[in-house]
Structure formats: structure tokens, C-alpha cells
Amino acid sequence: MIVDLLKKGVEANNADAFRKGNLVALPADGSAILTGDIHGHRRNFERIVTFADLDQNPKRHVVLQEIIHGGPEDAEGGCLSYKLLFDVIRYKLAFPDRIHIIMGNHDTAFINSSEVMKSGKEMNRAMSSAVEREFGRAGAEIILKIKQFLFSQPLAVRCQNRIWVSHSLPSDHAAEKFDPGVIDRPLKVNDVVRPGSAYLLTWGRRHSQSLLDKMAEAFDVDSFVLGHQRQEQGWSRAGGNLIIIASDHNHGCLLPVNLDESYTIERLAGSIVPLTSIA
């Protein structure tokens, strides 16, 4: 059943009506709920679902990212965030053209089985061991299907009102190695391995304003909404055209935007909603 769920998730990612290559291009009407890293935080995911209320808002989209690595553990210390990933896939299947799950750096690390540390623990080993304990002989196939699902995720979302959403952007020192064409062409495994362009897009930190301006020109946008960089207070304005948000702790936030309205960076900052304010 889980293998079938993951297969259907891959199919839904690839069949997304708004997806073009590795980019989801949202329409010029309706609204979108933009979120940061979730990292296994089930309560915050539930708050996002409640706030979005997609049944009552047929033109609303939800952008999610970095579901895995964090949250509850099993008795052996294994990471159980795959359980939340399965529920996020079910959410995607319920609203296949309105839930968009973008690729993060923990996703690329899981795909290529490279080490990634969080809170002093190597997360790929922690999650894979928990999967194997729960599913026994089927564990290896489920791990493979999780990798295939993560690989099928788009890299970014572009709103018609010139807002760009991705997990991160290439760092300044790696920008020259980044190929913006990765957004348009079929993704290859080498793209998610250092120094591939999907890797660079998901791992970069501490962007200079000159880099942000260069990326804005390359992607033809005005503002960026990113995750990846930890935000103790839930969000920050990290440049003249950059908001970083986090959704993986008690100060986590989301950012609602109307797709038919323009936004300055000040208006984006003023639209932040703390997740704890959602019942």
C-alpha cells in the first residue's frame, strides 16, 4: 500500500497541471500559502492544512518543502518523519494541482545517500533504519520509492506576481557553477549531487544583495521567499528582495499571498502569519 502511495505521488508530481519542467508556474488569480521547512513537525503541518482550507478555497494553492528529517523518533532513535511525508503525499493526491512540494537539501541528501546532520544526528541513517524496522523486508523498496518521490519534486514555484519560491538559492561562491537551465530541462541524478545545479539551488546560504539581484534577473522575478536557513523567530527579511521563513518549530510561520496582487518586500513581511495563531 505504501509503495503504491509513493508511486501515485510521483505520478501526481509529474502530472501537476501548473508544472513546466522543474518549475511550477502558478496562475494570475487565486491565492497561495507559502511555507518553510517542516522537518517532521506534524502539528504545524496540520495548522497549514487548516489555514489553507482548500475545500472552501478552490483557487488556493499550497507550497510545501522539506518534509523529512526531524520530529518524532522511534524507540531506537530512528527518525519517523517519513510518516508525515506519506500524509503530505495523501494531501497532494487529494488536491493534485494545488499542492506543490518543492525539493530541499535534505531531499537531495536522501536521494544520493550522502550524510546530512541535524541536531547532532545523521538523518539519512536515522530515517532509513526506522523505515526498515517498521516495514521489514519491504523497507528497502520503500526507501527506494521515497527517493524516487523526492526526485520527482519540482525545484521552484514562480507566481505571476513575480514572487519566486524555492528552498534556497546558490551561494555567492558557487553561483558561477549554477545553470539556471536546470529549471527547464529534465532533472538528472548528477543535478542533485554536488556540484550539480539542483544541489547548489537547495544548499546555498547567506546570499549577498548582488547575488539576489543577479538571480532575480535570471528568473525574471522581483522577490524571493526561501526556506533552508534556520529562523529562530520564524522568519526574517534577509535582503532587499528576500524573505526567509521556517515552519518547523513553535515560532514557525506561513506566508499567504494573493496571486493577482503585487507585493513589495515590506508587504510580504507584513503578511507573515505565526502558525501558533492557527487553532
36: enclosing H helix or E strand: strand 31-37
Question: Do the beta carbons of residue 41 and residue 118 sit within 8 Å?
Answer: no
Q: Are strands 19-20 and 23-25 parallel, antiparallel or unpaired?
A: antiparallel
List pLDDT tens digits, range 154-208: 999 999 999 999 999 999 999 999 999 999 999 999 999 999 999 999 999 999 9
Is residue 120's pLDDT more than 90? no
- 8-36: average pLDDT: 98
Instruction: Specify the pLDDT at position 117.
Output: 84
Instruction: Specify the pLDDT at position 118.
Output: 83
Instruction: Specify the pLDDT at position 135.
Output: 97
Is residue 138's pLDDT more than 90? yes
Percent of the chain with pLDDT over 90: 96
Domains of the chain, start order:
2-277 (3.60.21.10)
Instruction: Specify the pLDDT at position 220.
Output: 96
- 119-147: average pLDDT: 95
| C-alpha cell of residue 245 | 521563513
The CA distance from 64 to 45, in Å, is: 9
Instruction: Specify the pLDDT at position 115.
Output: 83
271's CB contacts (< 8 A; 6+ apart) are: 255, 256, 257, 263
| C-alpha cell of residue 145 | 520509492
Instruction: Specify the pLDDT at position 76.
Output: 95
Instruction: Specify the pLDDT at position 279.
Output: 85
Is residue 253's pLDDT more than 90? yes
| C-alpha cell of residue 250 | 513553535
- 57-77: average pLDDT: 97
Read off the amino acid at residue 185: R
Is residue 133's pLDDT more than 90? yes
List pLDDT tens digits, range 256-276: 999 999 999 999 999 999 999
